[in-house]
Amino acid sequence: MSILGVSPVHTEAIFGIDNASLIISAGSVAPFSGDAIVNAANRRCLGGGGVDGAVSDAGGEPLYQARLALPIKEGTKNTRVETGDAAITVGGELPASYCIHAVGPDYYDCEDDAEGDSLLYSAYEKGMQLAQQQTEPAIKTIAFSLLSAGIFRDKRSLKEVLRIAVKAVKANAWEGLKEVHLVAWKEVEQRILIKVCEEERGEEGGLGEKVEEEGEKKRKGEEKEAGVEREEKKVKKVEEGDEKREVDCLRLD
């Protein structure tokens, strides 16, 4: 579920950020059918494993050629996007019109957590800024993969890595933005993201009111349907019993 009905990913919870919605979603960014996705890329920006591999496969040859066309940074052999930075291309065969390639840090290679946190925030920030700059067509819905949330976070806690994601997208929301999805593949990521958002709501200038979690709404709906079904069965059973008694009485007469 999505407010604008643009995404096949499953919505877990929705929070307010200014005039937009921060949506915690479950699944993969690759099939997101909104305006843009943010891929967890590497510096070569030609594909990789995990999320990057899924995005590359879904984007096909047009996306690969668009990535290949990104200029190599001066003084490097094959770096198209520096750590903490992002680049934008067409989406190719992706449902989304744009694909933003953001490079989060490998905390193992960072001097300390502070350096890693700064680079991670920057990667999300650059992704949001690139999205804001697009005008034809404008980007109103965007879905982020979780940067540096897997093996690249090294010993950094998942909660702090995800907190940076939430803070960065909130701080860089713009007028005209409707939805920002943080798309989590693992259930533990989904739970922690929701927890972080709830904590951020309590801070000055934090997130707005949370809409009821979709998973909970679904469960309540299923329970309600099950309850109705049980009642219908009870009524049917009583009616069948009444009919049987009426038939028996007729037979006796």
CA gyration radius, the chain: 24
Measured distance CA(111)–CA(214) in Å, rounded = 40
User: Hey, what CATH topology would domain 10-211 get?
Assistant: Leucine Aminopeptidase, subunit E; domain 1 (3.40.220)
Measured distance CA(60)–CA(74) in Å, rounded = 27
Per-domain residue ranges of the chain: 10-211, 213-253
Main-chain dihedrals φ then ψ at residue 147, nearest 5 degrees: -75, 135
Query: What pLDDT is recorded for position 235?
Result: 47
Q: Quick one: which of 129, 165, 142, 97 has its CA closest to 7? A: 142
Q: Specify whether 52 is catalytic.
A: yes
Dig out the tokens for 146 from the structure: 């979780």
pLDDT along the chain (253 residues), means of 10: 52 89 94 96 94 95 98 96 98 97 98 98 98 95 97 96 97 95 95 95 60 50 53 54 49 45
Contacts of 219 (CB under 8 A, 6+ apart): none
Query: What pLDDT is recorded for position 19?
Result: 83
Q: Residue 212 carries which DSSP code?
A: P
Measured distance CA(123)–CA(101) in Å, rounded = 9
Name the residue with tokens 């291309």: 89
Dig out the tokens for 89 from the structure: 């291309």
Measured distance CA(95)–CA(59) in Å, rounded = 9
10 Å Cβ neighbour count for 53? Answer: 12
Tell me if 8 sits within 8 A of 31, measured CB to CB: yes
Cis peptide before 137 (omega within 30 of 0): yes
Exactly one of 52, 85, 113, 242 is catalytic; name it: 52
10 Å Cβ neighbour count for 75? Answer: 6
